[in-house]
Amino acid sequence: MKDSNRPKSPEERHAAYQKGMDKRERQKAISIARYKKGAKRDVERRSRDEARKQQQTPEQIEQRNAEYAALPVGRILTRARTGILVQAEDHNLHWCRVPGKGSLAKVPVPGDQVRYKPSTETSDGWIEGIEERSSLFHRYVFGRIKEIAANMDRVLLIATPREPIVSPRLIDRMLVGAEVGNVEPWIVINKIDLFDSDELDTFSKPWEDAGYTVLRVSAETGQGLHMLLDELVGRTTLLAGPSGVGKSTLLNRLIEDLDLDTAAVSATNDRGVHTTTATQLYRVPNGGTVADTPGVREFYPVIHDAADLRFYFPEFQAEAENCHYNDCLHLDDSDGCAVKVAVEEGRINVDRYQSYKLIHASLLEGPTRGRAMTQG
């Protein structure tokens, strides 16, 4: 009979770790296979739809376009298993569905402006189309693109030096994701009442040196919240970051009577606990909209060519003009690289440069294999 209280040997711990990793890889393979099967089915369905459209006469096409243009427009507030919550221009709410999987060219997400067909009997409806997006915050998850929110003017990346520990590597990846999706990124350091100014300065310096706006607030004491609230007015703003950094707590302080669920940071590993399970939009006082999102522990930006990564580090741009080659990748083996010289001379933060190299390496491996290296 095994003694459950006996300490495990190094071999047993390694075997348990390997078993867990094998299970994770199997789950990943299953997810990727399901995605590929669904993607193939969607392509076939859209091909059939296109074939039917080509058989229509010009009069039928004109009538169809006129009917579509007459449909009301609404904004998606959230998605749930029961449907998609759409707010109409008159502020009435409609639970809508998509006519069929793959019937739309894009997946509707919170923030999307959609054309919908209201039901004549209930407040429900059907989403018939998605309007053009001005921005999209998205990432890869197990090789599949996960679209988080659309038409955001700004994303606030919430971080803390500790409680929980937030890796700067993760924030750097999310900054790249925002730049790729045409969303203006700001960084908000929360829980500043727990840290001294030197620790806060050290934590924020790499991003401030890169030219990003960094705000310091405390949801607990209210410090800095008036400045944050002013920045929400007249904009659609996304809150993103790891679990436990206080996104929901901030919203509870900024929006009266909201009362979102919150949870304490785990004392065993200094990691946050998920409380928000789906992206959802809320109205803020004096106008504006803010979107709360589930916490993330890894972030793999949607970049199809690793060579393009160099364009999403803004502090590289001025120095890159002096590189010997126009297509310089600014890596260790890049000859005549002015960016490397700027790092050596302290004009570019060395930690940000290390983040760049780590992200580039994972992009070369691809989204199905490249792990989102957020630590170190």
Choose between 50 and 87: higher pLDDT. Answer: 87
Q: What is the average pLDDT value for the chain, to the nearest integer?
A: 86
pLDDT in tens, 122-134: 668 899 999 999 9
Distance CA 359, CA 366 (A): 11
> Residue 161: what are its φ and ψ, rounded to 5°?
-65, -35
Query: Quick check: helix, strand or coil at residue 146?
Result: strand
E strands present in 205-345: 214-216, 236-240, 280-283, 289-292
Enter the tokens of residue 140: 């890869």
**Percentage of residues of the chain with pLDDT beyond 70:** 89
Each as own residue / partner, the long-range contacts of residues 107-110 (CB below 8 Å, 24 or more positions apart, any chain) are 107/147, 108/76, 108/79, 108/84, 109/76, 109/79, 109/147, 109/148, 109/149, 109/150, 109/279, 110/76, 110/77, 110/78, 110/79, 110/148, 110/149, 110/150, 110/279, 110/280, 110/281, 110/291
The pLDDT score that the predictor gives to residue 312 is 97
pLDDT at 133: 96
Domains of the chain: 58-130 (2.40.50.140), 152-292 (3.40.50.300), 306-365 (1.10.40.50)
Structure-model confidence comparison of residues 54 and 318, the more confident one:
318
For residue 180, the model assigns a pLDDT of 97
pLDDT of 269 strictly over 50: no
Reported as a pLDDT band with limits 50, 70 and 90, residue 263 is: very low
Q: Which residues pair with 290 in a beta bridge?
A: 237, 282
Segment of 5-19, 41-55, 98-112, 260-274 carrying the highest mean pLDDT? 98-112
Which is more confident, 80 or 321? 321
41-55, 252-266, 287-301: which is most confident: 287-301
- Beta-bridged to residue 84, according to DSSP, are 79, 96
pLDDT at residue 5 is higher than 80: no
Would you state the pLDDT for residue 276?
A: 61
Q: What is the pLDDT of residues 325-348, one digit of tens each?
A: 999 999 999 999 999 999 999 999
Q: In sequence order, which ranges of the chain are alpha helices (DSSP H)?
A: 10-54, 58-69, 168-180, 197-209, 225-232, 247-254, 317-320, 338-344, 350-365
Asked whether residue 270 carries a pLDDT value surpassing 50, the answer given is no
Confidence of residue 102 (pLDDT cuts 50, 70, 90): low
- pTM score, whole prediction: 0.80
Report the pLDDT value the prediction gives residue 123, as an integer from 0 to 100.
Answer: 65
The amino acid at residue 154 is R
Residue-level pLDDT at 116:
94
Which is higher by pLDDT, 141 or 277? 141
CA distance 334 to 350: 16
Confidence of residue 274 (pLDDT cuts 50, 70, 90): very low
How many Cβ atoms sit within 10 Å of the Cβ of residue 219?
Answer: 25
| Tens digit of each residue's pLDDT (9 = 90 or more) over 208-253 | 999 999 999 999 999 999 999 999 999 999 999 998 898 988 988 8
Q: Is the pLDDT of residue 273 over 50?
A: no
pLDDT digits (tens, 9 = 90+) for 146-182: 999 999 999 999 999 998 899 999 999 999 999 999 9
